[in-house]
Structure formats: C-alpha cells, structure tokens
Structure 1
Amino acid sequence: MTWQSPWRLLLLLGVAALAVAYVVAQRRRSRYAVRFTNLRLLDRVAPERPAWRRHVPAGLFLAMLALLVVGFARPTADVRVPRERATVVVAVDVSTSMLANDVDPDRLEAAKAAAHRFVDALPDEFNVGLVAFAGSAAVLVPPSTDRSALHTGIRRLAEGSTGVQGTAIGEAINTSLVAVKNIDSRAAKDPPPARIVLLSDGANTSGRDPMAAASDAVQAKVPVHTISFGTPGGYVDRGGRPIRVPVDGQTLKAVADETGGGYHEAGTSEELRAVYEDIGTSVGYRTERQDISARFIGFGLLLALAAAAGSMRWFSRLP
C-alpha cells in the first residue's frame, strides 16, 4: 500500500499526543482519588464502576481519528476488478462496391447506420471492437467497453479506408478472430464468449476464401452473423461508366450457416438483437491501482458510531 499524500500521516502524531494526554489524565485522576480520605463520601461522589468501560469510548474515538488520518493521506493499493469478457466484433465492408446507392443513401452509409444501432442495443458491459475491410482488413477500434470510441470509429469509416482495393471477407473474419484472442491475457487458453457481426454486400474478390475463414471461426467457437446490403441490380459510377456490383447474399449466408450464426438482409434492430441475446457472459479480472481511502474513512465512521453508542449506553452522554 502507498499513499498519494504521505505527508498528511504526520497528523498521526497529534493522535498519539491525545492518547498520551489521556493516559496522563487518568493517572492524575487515580492519584487524586487516593488522596481523598473520606471513603464514604468518595463512594457517593464517584461510585465504583468497571474500569474498562470508562476507556472504551476514548479508545474508539482515538482509533477513529487514526483511521480518518490514514484515509486523509489517500492510500492506494492493487485491487482485482471484475471485467466482463463477452466480446462482439463488428466488421464493416468499405470496398468500392459499398458505394452503390441501391440502398438509401448508399450501402456503406446504411451499414454504418445499422452498426450504430446494433452497438447502442448491446449491454454496456460487453466489449465491442470495430474492423474495417476491403482488399485487406484492419482493427480500427480494439474490443473494449468504450462506446464513444466505437461510435467515432464507425463515423470515420469511408470507402477505401484500408488502402487496398477489393473485398476480403475471409480476411475480415480472421482479423476479427485475432481481435477476440487479444482481449486479455487469458484469451489464448480460455477464450471469451464472442460473436462476429459482418456487414457487407457479400461479393468476395480477394484474400482468403471466406469458407476457410469460417472453418477457423468454428474451431474458435465464434459464430459469425452476416448482414447483406444491396440488390442484384446495384451499380457504382466510375468516370461516368456504370459498373454492376450485384449483392452476393449466398456467400454471406454460407458463412453464417457454417459458423452457427444468422444471416439477415439489411437487418432490423429486432433481428440484430438475437446476435447477443445468447452470447453468455464470462467474468475475468484485471489489477488496477485504486484509491482505497474510503475503506479507512468508512471504518473510522463506524468506530465513531460505536464510541457514541457506548458512551450513551454507559454514561448517558456523548464522548
């Protein structure tokens, strides 16, 4: 245990001085009683009572002062803090095909809106991460409970933000699995309950085969829920030349079926809720340096109440 304001512990010298003064005062009182020669009158003025009761309120009061001083010095200690390990990784397709406006206002903006809604519906204690993918995949926001950082990351998603052209669904799944494994030091041997939510138009064009990545997800026991955005007639305009980018729901559905996830088409909030309802929980711990002054202050107040109660009970007055 350490203190943030150790110099305040000097006040304990004042508590010690009070203790010494109390002992001295009690001894003087005893010498005065011995000099009192009229013993019958002494019995009436100072009737006999158990000696230990006289000292209990004073002792509790001094202990209270000591605890309050220690709390005032702001002690800190390493504390094991429970942490929910349940993890959801949201993977969003930012390839060029996601600019098709067959979904209002376009596929990418619709996917971002769905991601915002999904994140808002998740329990606050869940860890949520964000992966962006096109021809490659990258973790934009590592899984955590910081919803502000996550929403900021979703808002910053833009076409081509990974720097590599194409659509690599398999890479997105693998990158999401790595993010889950890095949630804490236990994850490699004791994986947390996790889900991947992948939002895309499903037209895989590069990177690892999605079904091979799906097999990795099965082995890791991480279901992949997929949401498709787009229609068979979607296209993007490149230099005045329309390029057809039909949605490929079959790939996304095959991935979801293989991993035990669900497949949705531009999913609603109600459909997305099923993604996390059965995810389960797994509580882990992390060590944090925390201010524990409240413990000492709380015990000090309890001693103050005990001193007051004892004094009222035995002497009909407050100490």
Structure 2
Amino acid sequence: MSITGFSSPWWFLLLLVVGAVVAGYVLAMRARRRRTMRFANLELLERVAPRGQGWSKHVPAALLIVSLLLLTFALAGPTAEQKVPRNRATVMLVVDVSLSMEATDVEPTRLKAAQEAARSFAQGLTPGVNLGLISFAGTATVLVAPTTERQGVVRAIDNLKLAQSTATGEGIFAAIQSIDSFSAVVGGADGPPPARIVLMTDGKQTVPQDEYAPRGAFTAAGIAKQKQIPVSTISFGTSHGTVEIEGKQVPVEVDDASMREIARLSGGDFYKAASAEELKRVYESLGEQIGYETKNVDASKPWVVLGTIVLIGAAGSSLFLGQRLP
C-alpha cells in the first residue's frame, strides 16, 4: 500500500509518550538489576533466579512498544490513492452516421464496428455515470438524454441509421445543450456533475465546410472549453476507405488532424482507431477514465488490525513467559 499522506498527523505527538514508555522500561530494568546485585551470596542468586530467559524476557515489552507505534500510525489517519467509481458524472456519446461509415476498410463496416464498441462502452460504464447518445450526419439528433438507464442507450445504438453529410459542429453543439439542460436539473448544492463529450467520427466536416464557422466544429470545441466540457475525439477508420456513391467508389479518408484539433481546443484527448479492436480498446480506456476517479481514502484499517494483533501477541507472550500481563 502506498501512503500518500495523513488526515490527522498531530496524533504523531503520541510518539513522545511511546518514547517515554521505552525510556521508563530501560530505567526500570536497570533499577531492577541494581537491586538484584545487592544479594551478597551470588551462588544463592544463581539458584533462585530464573534461568534460560535471557533476551526473551524483553519480548512482551518489545511487542507492546511495536503495537503502540502501529496504533499511533493508525490514529494519524494514513491515506492512500484508490480508484473509486464516480457517483455523479455526465457523458454524451456523439456518433457519426454519415455515409462514409458504410466503408468496409473496418470489417464488417465502420458503422457496425462502431455500434459494437459503443454498445460495450455503454454497458461497461459505472452506474453513477449519466450517459446520453447523439447521432449526426447533416444534422444532429439527440437519441437519448443523459440517464443511468443503459438499455435505452443500447437500443438506440443498435438502431443507428446512415444519412448524408457530416455536421460535426452540430453534433458537439447538441451535446453541449443536452449537458446544460441536464445539469440545470440535477445541479443541486454541489453544482453540476462533471461532464464530457465522446465524439466518434471517421471523416472531415462537410456542413459547414469552414470548421471555424459559427456552427463549425472548432467553434463548438471552443465553447465546450469555456463550459469546462472536454471533448474526447476518436478518429475511426483508415486512409484507404471507400464507399460506393451513384456507382462510383469515393475515397473516405479519416481526418485525424481535425479530430486532434477539436480535442486540443476543448481541453480533451485525441484517440486514433484504425480497426474494430483498436476502437474497443479506446472505449475501454475512456470507460476507465470516465467511470472512475482517484481519491485519497482512509488506509488506517490495516494498521489498526496489525497493531491489535501485535498487542494480543504482547499479552500472550507475557502470560507465557512471565505468568503475568505486561
């Protein structure tokens, strides 16, 4: 266990008391030795004094001192970092359903691989996370508002349908609006829960073409930054994907640069996934980050248990060796 700090370090002042006990014990042993040496008949002393103890007679006292040290350490409130499930958070999963998602460079298609990975992501999130779902192509649609009920999200993921165009900015704006609406309802005295947008897309924004336009992706990312809603972007697909449009094979190369910029502008993270397995790993990593947080938790129990065991050992050894309690 890695100790990161103490919640009540002033309890370490008890170490002065423990030190005084040690000093008292040493002085008591010396005084006892002086009183014993007053016997004039050393031969008689050897016959009446207990034999065979030696250093073992100090075992009960040593165990008592160790138990006091352990219990003092426990009282000081040691803390340790531990991953605990979040009990309040909001996540909007924003999925691209433009026609480019029909490409088969990721088997069986980009969309089906994305659906499977998103389904696992939704089912694996910790219960305290409110998850919502948005799909976007030429426009964005809020399919599921943030909720801790996962079945509705999973059903919506299974029913995703392809459409024309890619309005990435609209997807981000819709997610921001959903988060704001949800936060206004559940904020409470502690304020709104921390929120994040997970954006999964495979291509460049086409509506509008300028990503810095008022409804563009970069503009939306900047607003997300202002609202402290980081956007984790997943660029999904390969550089050699194609789809058939009106009998022609049209290349649909992923746009890593734009996804990386959206993540940077919003204060989020960028991920690259060129296969179904890579996408699953990305979602697993995001699920771990979103669903859990690292907190300093109380770590005193092991020290209390160990101190108590050693104290019992001190009492038992004293009864066994000296027929008395220390």
**TM-score normalized by the length of structure 1:** 0.57
Say whether 1:191 aligns with 2:202. Answer: no
Does the CA contact (< 8 Å) of 1:133 and 1:169 recur in 2? yes
Identity rate, percent: 41
Aligned residue number for residue 249 of structure 1: 256
Aligned CA distance change for structure 1 residues 271 and 244 (closer, same or farther; 3 Å)? closer
Shift of 1:239: 3.1
| Residue identity opposite 1:204 in structure 2 | Q
Pairs aligned (count): 196
Contact 1:193/1:280 (CA < 8 Å) preserved in 2?
no
User: Does residue 1:177 correspond to 2:176, yes or no?
Assistant: yes
State yes or no: 1:103 paired with 2:106.
Answer: yes
Which segment drifts farther, 202-211 or 127-136? 202-211
Stretches of structure 2 that go unaligned for 5 or more consecutive residues are: 1-85, 209-214, 294-326
Is residue 96–residue 201 contact of structure 2 (8 Å, CA) maintained in 1?
yes
Q: Of 83, 86, 89, which aligns to 2:89?
A: 86
Correspondence list, 1:80-229, <5 A: 84-160=87-163, 165-186=164-185, 190-207=191-208, 208-229=215-236
Counterpart of 2:171 in structure 1: which amino acid? A
Quick one: distance in 2 between partners of 1:171 and 1:120? 26
Aligned to 1:264: 271
Could you tell me which runs of 5 or more consecutive residues in structure 1 were left unpaired when the two chains were aligned: 1-82, 283-319
Deviations 1:200-241 (CA, angstroms, capped at 9, x unpaired): 113110042211110011011011111122212211112321
Q: Is the aligned partner of 1:275 residue 2:290?
A: no
C-alpha displacement of 1:187: 6.1
Quick one: distance in 1 between partners of 2:201 and 2:184?
31
Deviation at 1:168, TM superposition (A): 0.8
Worse overlay, 260-269 or 203-212: 260-269
SS at match of 1:183: helix
The aligned counterpart of 2:15 is none
Q: Is the 8 A contact 1:253 1:263 kept in 2?
A: yes
The answer (yes or no) to whether the contact 2:114–2:279 under 8 Å persists in 1 is no
Measured after TM superposition, the shift of residue 166 of structure 1 is: 0.9
Distance in 2 separating the partners of 1:268 and 1:241 = 28
SS at match of 1:192: coil
In 1: Cα distance, 2:114 partner to 2:281 partner: 16
SS at match of 1:173: helix
Partner Cα distance (2:286, 2:111) in 1: 21
Q: 3-state SS of the aligned residue for 2:93? A: strand
Conserved 8 A contact 1:130-1:143 = yes
Q: CA deviation at 1:147?
A: 0.4
Match of 1:240 in 2: 247
Is contact 2:132–2:147 with CA below 8 Å preserved after alignment? yes
Evaluate the alpha carbon distance shift between residue 243 and residue 210 of structure 1 in structure 2; reply closer, same or farther with a 3 A threshold.
same
The question of whether the paired residues in 1 share the 8 Å contact of 2:237 and 2:253 is answered with: yes
Aligned to 2:157, what secondary structure does the other structure show? helix
Q: Distance in 2 between matches of 1:145 and 1:187?
A: 13
Q: Distance in 2 between matches of 1:102 and 1:192?
A: 38
Cα distance, 1:187–1:222 mapped onto 2, change above 3 Å: farther
Report the CA distance between 1:186 and its aligned residue.
Answer: 4.5
* Corresponding residue of 1:289: none
SS, match of residue 184 in structure 2: coil
